[in-house]
Amino acid sequence: MTTPEVLETSIQSATEALLGFQQSDGHWVFELEADCTIPSEYVMLRHYLGEAVDSVLEAKIGRYLRRIQGAHGGWPLVHDGPFDMSASVKGYFALRLIGDSVDAPHMVRAREAIRSRGGAIHCNVFTRFTLALFGIVSWRAVPVLPVEIMLLPYKAPFHLNKIAYWARTTLVPLLVLAALKPRARNPKGVGISELFLQDPHSIGMTARAPHQSLGWFLLFRGLDVVLRLSTPFFPKKLRQRAIDAALAFTEERINGEDGMGAIFPPMANIVMMYDALGKDENFPPRALTRRGLDRLLVIGDDEAYCQPCVSPVWDTSLVCHTLLEAGNAVEATKQGLDWLIPRQVLDLKGDWVVKRPDVRPGGWAFQYNNPHYPDLDDTAVVVMSLDRMRREHGAQGYDAAIARGVEWIEGMQSDDGGWAAFDVNNLEYYLNNIPFSDHGALLDPPTEDVTARCLSMLGQLGQTLATGNRAVAAGIAYLRRTQHKEGSWYGRWGLNFIYGTWSVLCGLNAAGIDHSDPMIRKAVEWLASIQNSDGGWGEDAVSYRLDYKGWEKAPSTPSQTGWALLALMAVGEADHPAVARGVQYLIATQNKKGLWSEERYTATGFPRVFYLRYHGYAKFFPLWALARYRNLRSTNSRVVGVGM
């Protein structure tokens, strides 16, 4: 049994540690780590451009890549995860460029792991594009991407605004590269033909991906054949118009050193695109973007890696929620919220406006600056934190920001009642069958976790089922339809069913759904049933498998345990024995610095393809859960009166 004194000591220790990470201007930002692919691509980019070798930096990246190599010899997508072909090919290639000998034991193990699984022919489309740019495979190994796509009308079956923002921004500069087919400088002349079981230049297109239907795939493969034959005969003036359109799209969204889309892949493609167009390293859009890529580096004493992006708005807003729950840090919390206020996008209508032309902007982006691409998840979390500070501490000056955020989110609801991360009604699922989409992440449809977050925000602000709010009613109906039979909900942006169920139970509570509702009872029973014997909760990334089998057991983690506890407490289960065991697990695993260790990846970029380790998650989610537990146990109502 956890005594109140032990609980309070744990909360205070974690609070002090968290406050120690606050930046001088009031915000928080923690490292955001992916797998080996982003640091590998950073190395490949430098060698593609023929930049001067930074031997110190490359040595540090090399040490990082060697450390995260799996016991199977290749590289995984998550900590201690299974072999992944594309990650392994990129990790191996990067180490070759850095200077590792093919005969080094770790390189022999990697090569044998790759070849024993059929060789590098089995890597994905994005990896094949990189290999084509280096001349390792021919352009026959990648799908045809005619740059003339830029000129298609919206009514066409394919249009840039029918795919997700991350795909859109990555694709535009890639279209130009595919048209020009430049060759990497690669001063060392490094190749990786040893990873193939056949002549790399003999390989053709990728096989059908598991998520792709045979009929659609054959249709698009046939179209690819037609385009491959006809593209060379497209008029040169038409091609130049299309390249000009791609440049105009890019330069409108260049976004300073934060970069187009503020994520690594489009930024790297932009630098290569300008290089292919003959723009030197001093050309302003190229220079800005190239400097922005270096800002994504995390450089330590011994190791270095490159982040896919940064997460200051997300980190700051979640820390503020945590500190509001923990108490005794009002001034620091207000500094964080005041830092968030000017980052609201009020004067620029981003790409989302194509489907919602009459909605005023009012969202927040995930990164420091990304005004064309605010997202609903960040916006809802920021609005709730501002409202909570206003409500609990009488903070002034937040009303206008809250009102505009709510207005934007209400205007971005999709027709099925759900909310997506960045767009509206992005339901063109047939596009995931095109050869380019072997990753299956071309779209941004509504999801349970983001829908729940928007419901949490509306409910916290008084818009509940009882008030007759149509958006809330539609959102609840969406969540009723999407609950799995065992009681869980899918988590698109966190791993996976634990995250989704936490999000949904918070949203349903805020929206006024009675805790005795069968869907809530089923979710509570499910969460209690998957608790680990040590009292914590964990879930493996394999739970995203296409042949759905539900939650997959994994060692307990602090962040997933925090989500499960917050979920149970949101629906009146503060006295549940599982909650007491979870609290004991968190206290027992807290270190002397007041923090928790978490090597496992608990967040999701793209299911089955790309996962994330938020270094902040283990610092604030456990504290949030412990403080919530303390606060509920000190009252008789056991009611969570906020959206998260």
CA 217/CA 215 separation, integer angstroms: 5
Q: Which residues pair with 32 in a beta bridge?
A: 614
The class of domain 36-306 in CATH terms is mainly alpha
Q: At what angle do helices 236-252 and 264-276 cross, to 10 degrees?
A: 140
HEC readout, 538-604: CCCHHHHCCCCCCCCCCCCEHHHHHHHHHHHHHCCCCCCHHHHHHHHHHHHHCCCCCCCCCCCCCEE
Domain boundaries, the chain: 4-30+311-412+447-633, 36-306
pLDDT range class, residue 220, cuts 50, 70, 90: confident
Which residues, 6+ apart, have CB-to-CB distance to 400 below 8 Å? none
- Given the residues 84, 351, 377, 438, select the one marked as catalytic: 377
- Reference 567, options 644, 619, 512, 632; nearest CA is 644
Structural fold of domain 4-30+311-412+447-633: Glycosyltransferase (1.50.10)
Range in 73-82, 279-288, 522-531, 547-556 the model is least confident about: 547-556
pLDDT of residue 343: 98
pLDDT of residue 206: 82
Cα angle for residues 181, 182, 183 (degrees, 5° grid): 125
Residue pLDDT, tens place only, 253-266: 999 999 999 999 99
Is the pLDDT score of 276 beyond 90? yes
- The arithmetic mean of pLDDT across residues 173-190, rounded, is 97
Is the pLDDT score of 30 beyond 90? yes
CA distances from 213 to 144, 198, 209, 323, 496 (A): 20, 28, 9, 48, 25
- Reference 85, options 434, 439, 431; nearest CA is 439
Is the pLDDT score of 216 beyond 80? no
CA 32/CA 45 separation, integer angstroms: 20
Residue pLDDT, tens place only, 469-486: 999 999 999 999 999 999
CA 206/CA 85 separation, integer angstroms: 13
pLDDT of residue 232: 87
SS3 content of the chain, % helix, strand, coil (to 5): 55, 5, 40
pLDDT of residue 634: 92
- The arithmetic mean of pLDDT across residues 175-198, rounded, is 97
pLDDT range class, residue 641, cuts 50, 70, 90: very high
Dihedral angle computed from the Cα positions of residues 625, 628, 633 and 638, in that order, rounded to the nearest 10 degrees: -110
> Looking up tokens 């630098």, which residue turns up?
271
pLDDT range class, residue 233, cuts 50, 70, 90: confident
> Looking up tokens 């094949």, which residue turns up?
128
pLDDT range class, residue 225, cuts 50, 70, 90: confident
- The arithmetic mean of pLDDT across residues 606-624, rounded, is 97
- The arithmetic mean of pLDDT across residues 230-258, rounded, is 95
Is the pLDDT score of 566 beyond 80? yes
pLDDT of residue 588: 98
Any long-range contacts for 362-365 (C-beta under 8 Å, 24+ apart)? 362/404, 362/405, 362/406, 362/407, 362/408, 362/409, 363/405, 363/408, 363/409, 364/313, 364/317, 364/340, 364/405, 365/262, 365/313
pLDDT of residue 217: 81
pLDDT of residue 304: 98
Mean of all residue pLDDT scores within the chain: 96
- The arithmetic mean of pLDDT across residues 82-90, rounded, is 98
Strand segments (E) across 61-212: none
- The arithmetic mean of pLDDT across residues 348-364, rounded, is 97
Is the pLDDT score of 548 beyond 90? no
pLDDT of residue 474: 98
pLDDT of residue 452: 98
CA 503/CA 505 separation, integer angstroms: 6
pLDDT of residue 228: 85
- The arithmetic mean of pLDDT across residues 123-151, rounded, is 96
- The arithmetic mean of pLDDT across residues 306-324, rounded, is 98
Is the pLDDT score of 640 beyond 90? yes
Beta strands across the sheet bearing 603-606:
32-33, 610-614, 603-606
- The arithmetic mean of pLDDT across residues 192-219, rounded, is 88
CA 351/CA 162 separation, integer angstroms: 11
pLDDT range class, residue 539, cuts 50, 70, 90: very high
pLDDT range class, residue 226, cuts 50, 70, 90: confident
Q: Are 79 and 600 in contact (CB under 8 A)?
A: yes
Active site residue 54: no
pLDDT of residue 5: 95
- The arithmetic mean of pLDDT across residues 54-61, rounded, is 98
Query: 501: which 2 tokens?
Result: 């169920």
* Reported pTM: 0.96
Residue pLDDT, tens place only, 446-465: 999 999 999 999 999 999 99
pLDDT range class, residue 543, cuts 50, 70, 90: very high
- The arithmetic mean of pLDDT across residues 157-173, rounded, is 95
pLDDT of residue 546: 86
pLDDT of residue 214: 84
- Reference 389, options 447, 491, 316; nearest CA is 316
Which helix (H) or strand (E) segment holds residue 606: the answer is: strand 603-606
